[in-house]
Amino acid sequence: MTLVTILGGARSGKSTAAESSARGWGGAVVYVATAERGDDEMRARITLHRERRPPEWVTREEPMALGEAVESAAGDALVLIDCLSLWVANLVERGDEDNAILAAARNAARLAAQRKAPTIAVTNEVGLGVVPASPLGRRSRDLLGLVNQQWVVASGAAYLAVAGRLLPLHEFPDSVHVGDLHDV
């Protein structure tokens, strides 16, 4: 299982869970940070994330070229991507077309899944939140939902973070009938 995706809402514990798992890895860790320092709040969030990371972890700040960041990491290093949500937002803000974003996501997920060492991807679950008021917000939300599906499909394991706990996500069986759902 080389790719694990952790989804969750704001402050659900997804980054903390990913970092905790990475600390248990016996080798090098490459932390791919997709956030940009746009405003004071984001700068403060970035500072908090930096302070939690062990000093021996390599940090690669890469807000756009995620596939390249994954591909360039040493093959024996665990890669922790935090997060897909900001990466998608950065591409939308740059003006990338939906199909280009989805193709880049599919490629990056494929590269992550093919790595010898594990990759842990953190992302926001958008299906439980408020419907954004603006068309751009709805577009970003919808794109992230599709990107999340691509990453989870490519993953060996996926988890939903809720209140600091991880719930495993299971594939929906092909042959489930409505009356059988209580057994799923």
DSSP letters along 127-152, please? TTSPPPSSHHHHHHHHHHHHHHHHHH
Q: Which of 49, 170, 177, 182 is catalytic?
A: 49
Nearest to 81 by CA among 94, 71, 91, 93: 71
The widest CA-to-CA distance across the chain, in whole angstroms, is: 53
Q: Residue 64, SS3?
A: coil
Distance of alpha carbon 164 from the chain centroid: 16
Q: Which two tokens stand for residue 38?
A: 């746009």
Residue 49 bears catalytic tag: yes
Q: Which two tokens stand for residue 12?
A: 């659900």
Q: What one-character DSSP code corresponds to residue 36?
A: -
Residues annotated catalytic, as ranges:
49
